[in-house]
Amino acid sequence: MYLGSRQNLSAAIGVAAKSPVSSDEGTKTAIRIGNFYYKAPNGIAFIKEDAAAFVIDPGGSHNAGTVAPDDSYHRVLFSPEKATSNIRRVEFQWSRMGDAIIGKLAANAEGEMSFNLSENWPEFKSNFSADTDGVKGVAELATGETVTWRLKSDPAPKSVDESQFTVALGGPEKPTYLAAGFGDLPSLENIDKLLASAQSSYEELRTKARGPSGDILAAIADNLNNSRIYSSDNKMVAISVSRKWANTANTAPYFCWDSFFNALLASLDNPEMGCQTARAILSYQGSDGLVPNYAHWDIGISTDRSQPPVGAMCIWKMNQRRPDVAFLREVYPRLALWHSWWMKARNARNDGLLQWGTSTGKLKYAQDECGWDDTPHFEGVDGVKMVGTTMNVYAVDLCSLWAMDAHFLARIAEAIGKQEDAQEYRRQQATMNRLINAKLWNEELGMYCSRFWDSDDGKPGEFLTRLTPANFYPLICQAPDAIRAQKMLAVMSDPTQFWGEWILPTVSRRDPAFLGQTYWHGTIWGPVNYLVFQGVKRYATPQMQADFAQKSVHLFMNNWLADGYCGENFLSVNGGVGGDLNYTWGALLCLIGLESIIDIGDDGVVKAGPGYHEPVDLMNVPIAGKLHRVSLRYGSPQVIVTPN
């Protein structure tokens, strides 16, 4: 069946999409088990009633192994920190069984390795000691009641003290088995069979792909599912941008637009965690509507500034994959309040066009609000300064994103029965688009540009002519007509500017800042490519769409398959990784690949796209509440509803 319309989708015979439920269900969860401790990506945290916790941690660098959302199956390969020198690689598989886990350790050679037991959350205090056949942990609750946790292994631990336990490893053909948790522990027999069954069950339902570039969907799931962090201060599990950014157990930061992108990425394989991540950042929204640049960090909360308004887009796209009207109703008031905040706080000239800003009046913080902290779009541009709480520049990127936000808020409002709100948001989008066209189009460059304010005597302000992908953002909100859009796409596809083997650099290749290749000076960022692609899909030819998607997918997968890196950013001169090596939103480059093959329009119509120049099979892709198999052959995706 070929899908290109709502009619075709409704004609498909299928069943509701099933996905493993996240292990986090708010405060209802009595026992949480997962790799939730910020410094233990390869370890396991056992948390009881948000009042006691026990952590086993083999150390080793972060490796995004396979993780089922409900923690029914984990598999990670790592180099342990505390092991005999001949042990270089350990495979750790484990599965949750009730209030406990079963696990298997297989090393490349015989030897010994140790698990740390000492670290914990500040609100919890656990004491560990040797037990008859393993390890015992005891925690005292505020009520005076005690909680007991146990671990046993075969062979039994060689040594146990209050900070670690050591196990013998028999090499690849002789695994070490273990069980740990609360209550009666599972038997150590038949663990191989049980783990194989758990792995098979998850593989049957997980989103995945096959093609020459590799599994672009597993790359998304593995990175997001491995980035869930528990915090005892708010009793939440949410997706962190990277474990590297947490300095203490309760300071995995919630960055604003990062969190919404994480929520969107999670909706493919772990929708409940996606919702929880959106809730996490929205829980720090101010009464005035500001959603902070960052929160839940050891440096505090950025109450002076926000970040790009991508929330409504991400939430609506999540709903397109797995409809959840109750969640839409839950978050809509907060998204609407945030949307109105921009016009109140960043409309300094009261003319409907917006500027980035900060209540501190510091230019650096206003640049941080735009999400591109040191972007050449504003940084170092003569005349750009703060006037009160905003820059003295109409920001083409913010105006476009605000119009986009209105577009998606209209969709959400319509879905929850608020028709008058939807009409108002459509009016706002149309009004902002008219202003963008009237004020920010630079005919000489064939581009929309940010622009200085008009002078007091009415003389139009000068354009900012340093070009970055932010200049393409009006494509996202449907501001340009076809003629203007083609002029913009000509600039984008110019290899002396933004095109080439690796795209899109965050400043034109002609700009001297391009050579910096650090942070936002000429590097490539997942969120930028993803946002610009939303406009490319609206205006570009199928060939350009496919080229854009292919370049994005290859950039990510080359690094992922070679080194397991999910880059914070990428170098546009050689395709290598820049910044943090394990930063979740790099996987947005893979989401571009998915949307290039099969997409759900803003209006709910399923659209077959040109793909990215490869034959691809996608399995268990959630679309409108059903799981689908998508096969791309010769540019024609074929969709089959997966039976469960």
pLDDT tens digits for range 101-125: 999 999 999 999 999 998 789 999 9
pLDDT at residue 14 above 80? Answer: no
pLDDT at residue 332 above 90? Answer: yes
Residues 45-62: tens digit of each pLDDT: 999 999 999 999 999 887
Give the per-residue pLDDT at 644.
53
Q: Looking at residues 618-636, what average pLDDT do you find?
A: 92
Report the distance separating Cα 45 and Cα 24, nearest Å: 13
Query: Would you give the DSSP letter of residue 110?
Result: E
% the chain with pLDDT above 90: 89
Residue 102 structure tokens: 């079963």
CA distances 224 to 72, 227, 424, Å, are 16, 5, 35
Q: What is the pTM of this model?
A: 0.95
Q: Classify each residue of 427-447 as buried b or exposed e, where b means 16 or more C-beta atoms within 10 Å of its C-beta.
A: ebbeebbebbeebbbbeeeeb
Kindly report which listed range (468-477, 547-556, 632-641) carries the lowest average pLDDT score: 632-641
Q: How confident is the model at residue 8 (pLDDT cuts 50, 70, 90)?
A: very low
Are 274 and 316 within 8 A, CB to CB? no
Secondary structure (H, E, C), 452-509: ECCCCCCCCCCECCCCCHHHHHHHCCCCCCHHHHHHHHHHHCCCCCCCCCCCCCCCCC
Give the per-residue pLDDT at 29.
64
Average pLDDT, the chain: 93
Residue 442 structure tokens: 């630079």
CA distances 517 to 12, 558, 575, Å, are 48, 19, 11
CA distances 2 to 13, 592, 636, 639, Å, are 13, 20, 7, 6
In what helix (H) or strand (E) does residue 438 lie, and over which residues does it extend?
A: helix 419-439
Give the count of alpha carbons within 13 A of 356, CB side only.
Answer: 31
Q: How confident is the model at residue 271 (pLDDT cuts 50, 70, 90)?
A: very high
pLDDT at residue 216 above 50? Answer: yes
> Among candidates 65, 70, 54, which has minimal Cα distance to 91?
65
pLDDT at residue 306 above 60? Answer: yes
Give the per-residue pLDDT at 16.
36
Residue 152 backbone class (left: φ over 0; alpha: ψ -120 to 50; beta: rest): beta
Question: Counting Cβ atoms within 10 Å, is residue 203 exposed (0-12), middle (13-18) or buried (19+)?
Answer: middle
| Strand residue runs (E) in 141-291 | 146-154, 159-160, 164-170, 176-181, 208-210, 228-231, 236-239, 254-255
In what helix (H) or strand (E) does residue 387 lie, and over which residues does it extend?
A: strand 386-387
Q: Which residues are paired to 16 by β-bridges?
A: 626
Q: Looking at residues 536-548, what average pLDDT do you find?
A: 97
Residues 134-151: tens digit of each pLDDT: 999 999 988 889 999 999
In what helix (H) or strand (E) does residue 96 lie, and over which residues does it extend?
A: strand 90-97
Q: Residue ranges per domain, the chain?
A: 31-205, 216-229+239-639
pLDDT at residue 160 above 90? Answer: yes
**Is the pLDDT higher at 639 or at 69?**
69
Q: At a CB cut-off of 8 Å and minimum separation 6, what does 5 contact?
A: 605, 606
Residue range 216-229+239-639 forms a domain whose CATH class is mainly alpha
Residue 389 structure tokens: 């709480």
